[in-house]
């Protein structure tokens, strides 16, 4: 990974899904080793390398009906918090634009028009508006082409300034658009996973309406219900509650996104 001029190698908005998945595999391996060396199941100790079972780790509480475990504070969590800070900065810009539209930057004004269009809809139509609006506003360009880096996560207004981005950037923009349109934070999650058909890492936004989770994908104008998807392996969930590792609940099929 090559940082741009003036940017550190540990840029808070730069990391790859492969890094995330490799870190999770290391955590699981260390967890297995720790359990095998623990004399008693009651003598469990939470460490940096060991996932912490979430209090909401019941099937159905996460997209895809997955069981979730909180990822302990570490590089991924810190980078997600840094990206959240960037999103918060964008929300402050949007608030100033509402107060004084005459001084609103063009990219923020465009994003506000999208938010207003999303807010004007309800139910599933609101998700469709967000999905299609962001998909049409951004042209898919790989980060290696745009930034000279393998992977960079960008706050939405910066993405709208360039009108370019990859799958994570689409998901992040949809996340903020729905938040600004009034969605509850616990109804949204950015999902990192693996498209097993294409053999590629992929990121989507999952959004819940009336208890039903839907997938907003940059590759499709329509929505896919999480329960009907079949070829996407969800691995990591990023949302207002932090970073969670996902695993299929007993007796369920591994879901996917086409």
Global confidence as pTM: 0.78
Is the alpha carbon torsion for 249, 15, 166, 88 positive or negative? positive
Model pLDDT, residue 21: 59
d(CA 200, CA 185): 28
Q: How are strands ordered across the β-sheet holding 200-209?
A: 52-53, 67-70, 242-247, 232-239, 188-195, 200-209, 212-216, 224-225
Which of 1-10, 128-137, 167-176 is the least confident region?
A: 1-10
d(CA 154, CA 169): 6
Task: Please compute the mean of the pLDDT values over residues 192-197 and round it to a whole number.
Answer: 88
Model pLDDT, residue 47: 27
Model pLDDT, residue 23: 60
Helix segments in the chain, DSSP class H: 17-37, 75-99, 106-119, 123-137, 143-146, 156-162, 167-180
Fold category of 17-35+44-247 in CATH: C8orf32 fold (3.10.620)
Task: Please compute the mean of the pLDDT values over residues 75-92 and round it to a whole number.
Answer: 93
153-168 as b/e, with b when 16 or more CB fall inside 10 Å?
bbbbbbbbbeebbbbb
Contact indicator for 33, 39 with CB cutoff of 8 Å: no
d(CA 111, CA 176): 10
With 50 as the cut, is the pLDDT of residue 6 above it?
A: no
Model pLDDT, residue 149: 86
Model pLDDT, residue 25: 60
pLDDT in tens, 230-244: 788 899 999 999 999
Q: Is 254 exposed, middle or buried (0-12, 13-18, 19+ CB in 10 A)?
A: middle
- When the pLDDT of each residue in the chain is averaged and rounded to a whole number, the result is 78
């Amino acid at each position: 990974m090559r940082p741009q001029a003036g940017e550190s190698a540990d840029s808070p908005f730069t990391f790859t899904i492969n890094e995330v998945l490799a870190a999770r595999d290391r955590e699981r391996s260390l967890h297995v080793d720790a359990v095998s060396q623990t004399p008693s199941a009651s003598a469990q100790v939470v460490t940096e390398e060991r996932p912490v079972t979430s209090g909401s780790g019941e099937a159905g509480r996460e997209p895809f009906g997955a069981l979730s475990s909180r990822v302990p504070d570490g590089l991924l969590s810190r980078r997600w918090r840094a990206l959240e800070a960037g999103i918060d900065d964008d929300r402050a810009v949007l608030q100033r634009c509402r107060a004084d539209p005459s001084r609103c930057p063009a990219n923020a004004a465009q994003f506000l028009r999208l938010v207003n269009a999303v807010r004007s809809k309800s139910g599933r139509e609101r998700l469709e508006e967000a999905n299609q609006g962001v998909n049409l506003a951004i042209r898919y360009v790989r980060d290696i082409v745009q930034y000279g880096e393998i992977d960079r996560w960008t706050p939405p207004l910066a993405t709208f300034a360039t009108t370019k981005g990859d799958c994570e950037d689409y998901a992040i923009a949809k996340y903020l658009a729905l938040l600004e349109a009034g969605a509850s934070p616990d109804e949204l999650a950015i999902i990192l996973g693996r498209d097993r058909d294409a053999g590629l890492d992929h990121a989507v936004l999952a959004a819940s309406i009336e208890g039903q989770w839907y997938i907003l994908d940059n590759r499709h104008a329509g929505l896919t219900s999480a329960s009907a998807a079949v070829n996407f392996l969800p691995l990591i969930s990023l949302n207002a509650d932090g970073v969670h590792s996902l695993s299929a609940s007993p007796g369920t099929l591994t879901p996917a996104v086409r």
